[in-house]
Structure 1
Amino acid sequence: MVDFSNKSTDFKKAQWNQLQNEYQTLISDYSHLPCIEQAAKVDEDHLYSLFDGEEGETLSEKGSLGPDQIQQLIAAVRHLHDHQMIHGAISPKNIWITTQGRVILYGAGEARVLEGKTRLGAVSDIRQLIAVIQRFSTLSESILERLNLEEPMTAEELEQILFRTERKEGISEDNKLAAFFERKSITQKAEAAERERRKVEKGKHRRANKMIIGGVIAAMLILADYCLF
């Protein structure tokens, strides 16, 4: 519901109606953006849009976004931008998480009409989206830090930074695991070689001892024979 009673102008009403018509025409049957069921007015100063919806809760209530949900949210913003529409107010209260875990981004362009923010563009949407992700994401800190370093300007760049880095970290973990097993294998080989060396040394000692004992016995026999004669 929009109340134009205090700030009503025919121009703003016309902008509002045009926005709803554009949204209805361009955004339909898309998984992460709602369809407008009806756009109408209660009276001359109170206009409304009725969207379809599902059971769930806002991101403010849910409190976190997993990697798959972040991708859904980015996809919603990219779909708007692909159709030359700017959201302008990407915030936790406008992000709906259904009971099935699906993300729906409500609203598109109202801030530009209601608040007169005509300079809002695609980059401002990305900045708002980054702020939401940094606050509610379950991604690692190292991934989120890259957003400040690389400063993505489009939904595509944002997704690439987030999930390219995630894959790299996954590979890194795999490498760590491989290195662990490699070190373990090397250690096991070294231990086996050491056991074999000790075994050989032990065998040499045994042979040497036998030779010494044999020599002693031979010497005693010779001495005994000498004494008898």
Structure 2
Amino acid sequence: MDIGGFDIKRKLFSNDFGLSVFEVEETETGRTFILRLVDFSNKSTDFKKAQWKQLQEEYRTVISDFSHLPRIKQVAKVDEDHLYSLLEGEEGSPLIEKGPLGADQIKQLVAAVRHLHDHKMIHGSISPENIWISNQGRVILNGTGEAKVLEGKPRLGAVSDLRQLIAVIQSFSTLSESILERLHLEEPMTVEELEQLLTRAESKIGISEDNKLAAFFERKSKAQKAEAEERERRKAQQGKKWGAIMMILGTVMLGVLILAVYSLF
């Protein structure tokens, strides 16, 4: 595949619905981009192409300046059957290669989904392959809602995004088992509910950590007090011991002095 002005660095993934995703580099600047190529050769009608193009333009219009969602630099075609969108990116790797998400990265991912939903857009394919982690640790959610067109699921909605998002968090995060269990039991129905649940859980962890810290200092204070009391007790015992010794020595010396005086007479 020849994309003028860009060199393919590697293929990231492809699926059964005609989507292939590549990491590419702009020849002139060396900048990194994500190229999402769609094969329409098995999708006989022009209607799906028109739908796909409309989605790209909607995304391009709405998502223009949000740090955890990429901007679309270009929408074009290789030939009549192969169209692509070029997303701005940066050096990094997909989540599936990079490893688990920390608490702050989970917040970034959730914020990306909330931003889409706030602008009436559905992602449709929130997966570790579509989650990009920059070399600086920043989370970027790639994808422009193609699943609705390519997978033939026009009714995909916010709830499906949320279920996918929770599945990613449960499988690719460093959150505690208790928080993950709460996600399973409470089943939040909106991104806002998910954010509130995570905030409450984080707050409880913070309180728990504060309690642990307070208990630690209380134990330390008690131990220090006990050590001080023990030192005083030993000091007192030592004083009594030396007092007894001095009394005995005094008695002996008095006896010796009496004998000495008696011997003179």
Give the TM interval when normalised to the shorter protein: 0.7 to 0.9
Alignment length, in residue pairs?
Answer: 229
Alignment match, 2:87: 51
Partner residue, 1:144 = 180
What per-residue deviation string (whole Å, max 9, x for no partner) do you get for residues 142-195 of structure 1? 222211122112222222222331232122122112112213323444565576
Aligned to 1:19: 55
Mapped partners of 1:101, 1:186: distance in 2: 43
Distance 2:220 2:238 in 1: 26
C-alpha RMSD of the superposition: 3.1
Aligned to 1:57, the other structure's residue is in SS state strand
- Tell me the CA shift for residue 128 of structure 1: 0.6
Q: Which runs of 5+ in 1 are unaligned?
A: 211-229
- 5 Å-filtered alignment, 1:112-123, equals 112-123=148-159
Residue 21 of structure 1 aligns with an amino acid whose one-letter code is E
Q: Is structure 2 residue 204 aligned with structure 1 residue 168?
A: yes
Q: How does 1:1-229 map to 2 (within 5 A)?
A: 1-190=37-226, 192=228
What is the DSSP-based 3-state SS (H/G/I as helix, E as strand, rest coil) of the residue aligned with 2:129?
A: helix
Tell me if the contact between 1:144 and 1:162 (Cα under 8 Å) persists in the aligned partners.
no
SS at match of 1:28: coil
Deviates more, 1:94-103 or 1:184-193: 184-193
Once residues 42 and 201 of structure 1 are traced to their aligned partners in structure 2, the CA distance between those partners, rounded to angstroms, is 94
SS at match of 2:85: strand
Q: Write the distance in 2 (CA, Å) between the matches of 1:159 and 1:192.
A: 49
Indicate conservation of the 8 Å contact 2:108/2:139, yes or no: yes
Larger CA deviation: 70-79 vs 170-179: 170-179
Matched residues in 2 for 1:51 and 1:112: separation?
A: 19
- Cα–Cα, structure 1 residues 195 and 103, in superposed 2: closer, same or farther, change >3 Å? closer
Spell out, residue by residue over 1:27-50, the C-alpha distance to the aligned partner (whole angstroms, 9 max, x if none).
112111111111122333222111
TM-superposed CA distance for 1:119, in Å, is: 2.2
Letter paired with 1:116: G
Q: Is the 8 A contact 2:56 2:144 kept in 1?
A: no
CA distance in 2, matches of 1:4, 1:14: 11
The answer to whether the Cα contact below 8 Å between 1:67 and 1:139 also exists between their aligned partners in 2 is: yes
- Determine what percentage of the aligned residue pairs are the same residue: 78
Larger RCO (alpha carbons 8 Å, 6+ apart): 1
Give the distance between the partners of 1:108 and 1:141, measured in 2 at CA. 32
State the Cα deviation string for residues 34-86 of structure 1 (Å, max 9, x = none).
Answer: 11111122333222111112111111111221112111111111110010000
